[in-house]
Amino acid sequence: MSQSTTTQSPPARSPSPESRSTESPSPDSPSAESPSAESASAESAPPTPPAPTPVESFDTLYAEVAPALVHQTYLLTGRRRHAFDSVEHAFQRAWEHWPEVSHDPDPVAWVRAQAYEYALAPWHRYRRRPRRPVTPPADPAHRALLELPPPYRRTVLLCDGLGLSVEEAAEECAASVPATVSRLRHARAGLAREVAGFADPDDLRAWLSELVASVSTATLPLARSVRTGSERRVRALTRAVYGLTAVLLGAVVFSAVGAPPPDPGPAPHGRVTDDGVPPRDEPAPPRDDPAPARP
């Protein structure tokens, strides 16, 4: 009977330190990137542009919005000079409140609301009219738009001309949604009565959209002059407030110091001492009773 012999394989040898050190890491491993590669990629990345300054942001908004806003304000009022004044006033107010405007979700709507409110303010009718009469628009539909009450004009221009929703128009006009719906309905009905082609609201919407989009090229004041005018206005208002405060304080001081002392009035029984103090224990003078009538 033969015995089977088992051949044992020699134990595996561990790699030497030299072989371990010469092994290169896998390209997919995180340690494959060297610090020099990271710095090179950081240097090759484009630099982050600096944030625009308030002046740059204001000038950009003015250049993008002012021409169209002048045209819209002219559609509301029918007076070009007044449209320019309204837009300039709106941007002056925007520069005065620029931190608020720059963080507003819709700066264009903020400026537009200021321009519309100034243009449609009722006190403008009491201002001195220009010597040359204002020429009415040649378009009969535009003349019919100007015949509407100012709130109706503004609402129909926002909704049918600029494409705002009723909720957005109500928020911009500081009105309730039912009031805005009523204004829009009356404005459409009034235009449909005056212009035969506006019986369909879609035709009215198409006409107003085209009218709003046809912005004419006009020479506008520079943004720098608008900012300068706003700063001059703020300084003038500040001086006026300080001057009025000084006048009121002066009037109060003069009335407190320069007024004569109050008159103490006559002493009891009409007598006073030399120092102006009435005597204390002075008997009351006898009362002159009328003599009794004789029988």
Token pair recorded at residue 31: 């340690």
Task: Write out the DSSP string of 26-62.
Answer: PTTSGGGS-HHHHHHHHHHSPPPPPPPPHHHHHHHHH
Q: Is the pLDDT of residue 228 over 60?
A: yes
| Percent of the chain surpassing pLDDT 90 | 45
Q: Which residue has the higher pLDDT, 291 or 138?
A: 138
Distance CA 113, CA 116 (A): 5
Q: Is the pLDDT of residue 129 over 50?
A: yes
Query: Residue 109: how many CB atoms within 10 A of its CB?
Result: 16
The reported pLDDT for the residue numbered 18 is 46
Weakest mean pLDDT among 23-37, 67-81, 279-293: 23-37
Closest CA to 61 of 223, 252, 292, 291: 223
The reported pLDDT for the residue numbered 289 is 56
Average pLDDT over residues 221-226: 82
Average pLDDT over residues 12-28: 49
Distance CA 196, CA 125 (A): 31
Q: CATH 1.10.10: which residues of the chain? A: 135-219
Q: Is the pLDDT of residue 28 over 60?
A: no
**pLDDT tens-digit readout, 239-275:** 777 677 777 777 777 677 766 666 665 555 555 555 5
Q: Is domain 135-219 in CATH 1.10.10, yes or no? A: yes
